[in-house]
A and B are shown apart, each in its own frame.
Chain A
Amino acid sequence: MALDRHMAPVIKDAIDFDIKLKPYQHFVLDNQVEVYTYEGGAEPVMLMDMVFFAGNSYENKNWVAAATNFLLKNGTTKKSAFEINEAFEFYGAHLSRNCYNETATIALHCLTKYFKEVIPVVSELISEANFPEKELQIYQQNLIQRLSLNLKKSDFIANRFIDEYLFGIDHPYGKYAMQEDYKNVTLADLTAFYDTYYKHGKCIIFMAGKFPSDMQELLNKHIGQLPLNKKVIADVTHPIVSAAQKHYSVVNDASSVQGSIRIARHFPNRHHPDFAPTQVLNNIFGGFFGSRLMRNIREDKGYTYGIHSYIQNHVQQCAWMISTDAGKDVCKPTIEEVYKEMKILREELVSEDELKLVKNYVLGGLLGDLDGPFQIIARWKSYILNDLTDAYFYNTIDVVKSIKPEQLKTLAEQYLKPEDFYELVVY
């Protein structure tokens, strides 16, 4: 029988897959630090991700949270920055740290066999960091230089400004650091922040991969005896102050050949019932390679290398963002096409065929996203930090499976109104 290449092979629809989020294990250290683990994988490697409630929401002065997070690896009462780095790198381990809005993390990636060698050093960082003056000064100097470089980039400027318009320059989600902020931070600021939010702070640990047999004992010995989780961290709230003006055009570099376009509106957080169904609408709109924005503006018109829409990953209040860099002469038509696609979603029903494709794509992608121990614990981490359970996971799957074109149109009518969007082009 001749092969018919026009005929697609029979597929199993991803909406018929039974997708499960594998459960975590949980235990509590002597100092009440909670540990969530997922053990698995074939390679002899592991991840320990320590989350501190030490994001920039808690700082009283710009940049203090980020600087503390970065520099706690640059000196302890026992070791210099070089010796600390050496203590990890000699064992092929990697210690990364990141500062977000609510939380800041210290994440250790290492070979399972060397966990016992490096865990004491992690412990030292969260109990005995001493912030040498020279380290702060070098970091400030280098960041000021890096900033001068980034300020030449239109996409960097655009990302900063659009968040500022949405949330206000004093809100953790809208603020950013300038040269002066880097200069103004002192050692006393770092030490005080460290003492409250790390050394005596609130911590949750997430672990995944292959564990050594004495993993719990090691954790309890080196982390479980530290003075963590003793005090309740006071809640902080910051008012959102959105800009009055909605449309902006900024010339950052007159010789620029492209413009960075950002179009964004406020959007509720994950606890809102519209969050999950709107993710489906977002996928159709600009959430993947086959989205309408991508097909129209890249694949049909060639205005850009890529255009994407997404809902920001904030805890408190999110934004729905459309982001692209387009040729200078086609920025205007690009923006017009974005609004045109919004209009079509408001006025016309998405076809069953297109919707089915997106459902299959989303659920197939979810299956892939949960492939591997690090991915599984990352999903759990995101739920736990957002006060969600696996009910959210299964509810989201149900929403994707059952959503109808009419619901999507209703959501588009509510959320895809051009007048609600901030619009910015940086050239």
Chain B
Amino acid sequence: MIQFDKFELDNGLKVIVHQDTSTPMAVVNVLYNVGAKDEDPHKTGFAHLFEHLMFGGSINIPIYDEPLQRAGGENNAYTTNDLTNYYCQIPAENIETAFWLESDRMLSLAFSEKSLEVQRKVVCEEFKEHYINKPYGDAWHKMRTLAYTNHPYRWMTIGASLEHVEQAKMQDVKDFFFKFYRPNNAILVVTGNVTTEQVKQLAEKWFGPIAAGVAYERNLPMEPVQHKSRFQDVRADVPLDMLMMTWHMGGRLDQNYHATDLMTDVIGGGATSRLYEQLIKVKQIFSSIDCYHFGTIDPGLVVIEGKLVKGITMSVAEKAVLDEIELIKNTMMPTHEVQKVINKTESLICFEDMSIMNRAHSLAYYELLGDAHLMNQELEKYQKVTPELIQQTAQQIFQDTNRNTLYYYSKS
């Protein structure tokens, strides 16, 4: 059970405080309610490029990192399709430095041309390192465009193409900032050796004077129900054939989310999963195979991806996977198998909650979902999942018309 206090400033900034006196450190986490899904389809990759620009100096502070490092702190950030999250860990005694830095870059960036020019290049190198210079690096780009016809999850956070990043203009940067990086579109979480009183005073002092922005009304195009199975062939210079399949699932707040999560774990999460045991060990059709899901806020995808053992044909591999899926749909799962994945989840949650950093990330995330208290209800929701519910969920999701398949062939 994670205890916390919650309050809101007049400008709409939500603040959550979780005290832990056993640590000398504190974490200051600022989550902005903007992700790659909020981008213009012709200017993709922007939310992530923007994350880089947030380190290029703010209106009153030329360099973000330096004063933080001087105060013994460290920081990082990440962008997903749903959100952008910034966090620093710092000795609790120096926590005001983090408030000063974070509030100044929420007030306004410096909008330096040099920073934009350099970070465009850095992000292009990141793009190359992870998505071009890597075998199968383009697989997700292809799968997303196959599975999503309408919803902005159809592009990756890095962007749909290098050109979009290369063409980013300063005016785009400014517009993006003042649209999304406002206090009423952000959640501030402070965890560690701090008191609520102290955080209240510091939040009022540093974030209080920042003006609220126009409320952002998210109105994203929804993905229509898929009625026909889709396929795509790819041939590339990779050593092994790969099979990748996805099925549309519900969003993060869908009532079947927890059942879906446990179901993917049973199917392909680790060494006792069905796919691992049957298709890697017993039948030796795949050399690696996993089943997982997106866990996105809007409806996501259940994924099965695996690399084929040399000499096995794609159709044999595909059939073997679909046979396992049929088994999940048509036979009730033994109770102990469900209990196993619930126990695994309990363990995972406990290990995750060990650090004040993870607790800060989770509190911010659940608050974004609607209520930070959800964090403390998760385990109970998993414990309520039954074999019946998993079977129903499997029958809903694993319909052939709902499936997208990428056959990724080795040229050699």
Residue in contact with A3 in the complex, picked from B94, B118, B205, B344, CB distance below 8 Å? B205
Residue in contact with B354 in the complex, picked from A43, A151, A357, CB distance below 8 Å? A43
Q: A141-B309, A152-B238, A325-B129 are in contact. Are A361 and B72 (CB under 8 A)?
A: yes
Residue in contact with A82 in the complex, picked from B66, B89, B119, B272, CB distance below 8 Å? B272
B277 within 8 Å of A (CB atoms): yes
Residue in contact with B125 in the complex, picked from A85, A256, A304, CB distance below 8 Å? A304
Query: Bound state CA distance, A239 and B93, in angstroms?
Result: 50
Minimum Cβ distance to chain B for residue A39 (Å): 13
Cβ A302 vs Cβ B118 within 8 A: yes
Q: Which residues of B lie under 8 Å from residue A92 when comparing CB positions?
A: 343-348
Minimum Cβ distance to chain A for residue B323 (Å): 19
A138 within 8 Å of B (CB atoms): yes
Q: A14-B91, A45-B350, A86-B340 are in contact. Are A302 and B72 (CB under 8 A)?
A: no
Q: Which residues of A lie under 8 Å from residue B123 when comparing CB positions?
A: 305
Q: Which residues of A lie under 8 Å from residue B239 when comparing CB positions?
A: 145, 148-149, 151-152
A6 within 8 Å of B (CB atoms): yes
Cβ B118 vs Cβ A288 within 8 A: no
Q: Which residues of A lie under 8 Å from residue B61 when comparing CB positions?
A: 5-6
Q: A45-B354, A110-B347 are in contact. Are A90 and B237 (CB under 8 A)?
A: no
Q: Which residues of A lie under 8 Å from residue B104 when comparing CB positions?
A: 5
Cβ A43 vs Cβ B70 within 8 A: no
Q: Which residues of B lie under 8 Å from residue A110 when comparing CB positions?
A: 347
A258 within 8 Å of B (CB atoms): yes
Dominant secondary structure of chain B at its interface with chain A: helix
Cβ B72 vs Cβ A363 within 8 A: yes
Q: Most B CB atoms within 10 A — which of A9, A42, A361?
A: A9
Residue in contact with B240 in the complex, picked from A148, A326, A360, CB distance below 8 Å? A148
Known: A8-B67, A327-B124. 17 other contacts (CB 8 A): A3-B206, A3-B209, A8-B100, A9-B97, A11-B94, A14-B71, A42-B22, A43-B350, A90-B339, A91-B347, A138-B281, A142-B288, A153-B135, A257-B128, A257-B132, A305-B122, A327-B128
Query: Bound state CA distance, A85 and B337, in angstroms?
Result: 13
Q: Which residues of B lie under 8 Å from residue A91 when comparing CB positions?
A: 343, 347
Q: A110-B347, A153-B135 are in contact. Are A288 and B128 (CB under 8 A)?
A: no
Cβ A257 vs Cβ B347 within 8 A: no
Q: Which residues of B lie under 8 Å from residue A364 when comparing CB positions?
A: 69, 71-74, 90-91, 94
A89 within 8 Å of B (CB atoms): yes
- List the interface of chain B (C-beta within 8 A of A): 20, 22-25, 59-61, 65-67, 69-74, 89-91, 93-94, 96-97, 99-100, 103-104, 107, 117-126, 128-129, 132-135, 205-206, 209, 237-240, 270-272, 277, 280-281, 284, 287-288, 307, 309-310, 336, 339-340, 343-348, 350-351, 353-356
Within 8 A of B (CB), among A232-267: 253, 255-258
Q: Which residues of B lie under 8 Å from residue A11 when comparing CB positions?
A: 70-72, 93-94, 97
* Stretch from A271-279, A366-374, A406-414 contacting the other chain: A366-374
Residue in contact with B344 in the complex, picked from A8, A40, A89, A326, CB distance below 8 Å? A89
Within 8 A of B (CB), among A197-252: none
A78 within 8 Å of B (CB atoms): no
Q: Which residues of A lie under 8 Å from residue B23 when comparing CB positions?
A: 371-372
A97 within 8 Å of B (CB atoms): no
| Complex: chain A residue closest to B98, CB-CB | A9
Minimum Cβ distance to chain A for residue B166 (Å): 12
Minimum Cβ distance to chain A for residue B167 (Å): 16
Q: A138-B280, A152-B239, A300-B118 are in contact. Are A365 and B72 (CB under 8 A)?
A: yes
Cβ B284 vs Cβ A138 within 8 A: yes
Cβ A288 vs Cβ B69 within 8 A: yes
Q: Which residues of A lie under 8 Å from residue B91 when comparing CB positions?
A: 12, 14, 17, 364, 367-368
Minimum Cβ distance to chain A for residue B1 (Å): 10
Within 8 A of B (CB), among A120-174: 138, 141-142, 145-146, 148-149, 151-154
Query: Bound state CA distance, A44 and B70, in angstroms?
Result: 35
| Complex: chain B residue closest to A95, CB-CB | B271
Query: Bound state CA distance, A253 and B284, in angstroms?
Result: 30
Q: Which residues of A lie under 8 Å from residue B133 when comparing CB positions?
A: 153-154, 256-258, 325
Cβ B343 vs Cβ A90 within 8 A: yes
Once A and B bind, how many residue pairs between them come within 8 Å at the CB atom? 210
The 6 A-B pairs at the shortest CB distance, nearest first, are namely A364-B72, A302-B121, A92-B347, A14-B72, A9-B96, A92-B343
Cβ B24 vs Cβ A371 within 8 A: yes
| Complex: chain B residue closest to A300, CB-CB | B118
| Complex: chain A residue closest to B20, CB-CB | A42
Residue in contact with B281 in the complex, picked from A82, A86, A257, CB distance below 8 Å? A82
A298 within 8 Å of B (CB atoms): yes
Minimum Cβ distance to chain A for residue B212 (Å): 17
Q: Which residues of B lie under 8 Å from residue A325 when comparing CB positions?
A: 125, 129, 133
Query: Bound state CA distance, A327 and B126, in angstroms?
Result: 10
Cβ B69 vs Cβ A290 within 8 A: yes
Residue in contact with B309 in the complex, picked from A145, A153, A357, CB distance below 8 Å? A145
Q: A12-B93, A17-B91 are in contact. Are A86 and B272 (CB under 8 A)?
A: yes
Q: Which residues of A lie under 8 Å from residue B74 when comparing CB positions?
A: 361, 364-365, 368
Cβ A90 vs Cβ B340 within 8 A: yes
Cβ A299 vs Cβ B354 within 8 A: no
A303 within 8 Å of B (CB atoms): yes
19 A-B contact pairs sorted by A residue (CB < 8 Å): A5-B103, A11-B70, A42-B22, A43-B354, A45-B347, A45-B354, A85-B272, A92-B343, A138-B284, A142-B309, A149-B240, A298-B118, A302-B117, A302-B125, A305-B125, A326-B125, A357-B70, A360-B72, A368-B89
Cβ B69 vs Cβ A258 within 8 A: no
Query: Bound state CA distance, A82 and B307, in angstroms?
Result: 21
A383 within 8 Å of B (CB atoms): no
A301 within 8 Å of B (CB atoms): yes
Q: A31-68, CB under 8 A of B: which get 1 and which 0?
A: 00000000011111100000000000000000000000
Q: A11-B70, A45-B354, A367-B25 are in contact. Are A290 and B65 (CB under 8 A)?
A: yes
A314 within 8 Å of B (CB atoms): no
Minimum Cβ distance to chain B for residue A393 (Å): 16
Residue in contact with B120 in the complex, picked from A89, A256, A302, A361, CB distance below 8 Å? A302
Query: Bound state CA distance, A142 and B281, in angstroms?
Result: 10
Query: Bound state CA distance, A105 and B280, in angstroms?
Result: 25
Q: Most B CB atoms within 10 A — which of A3, A92, A114, A367?
A: A92
Minimum Cβ distance to chain B for residue A145 (Å): 4
Q: Which residues of A lie under 8 Å from residue B25 when comparing CB positions?
A: 367-368, 371
Q: Which residues of B lie under 8 Å from residue A14 when comparing CB positions?
A: 71-72, 91
| Complex: chain B residue closest to A90, CB-CB | B340
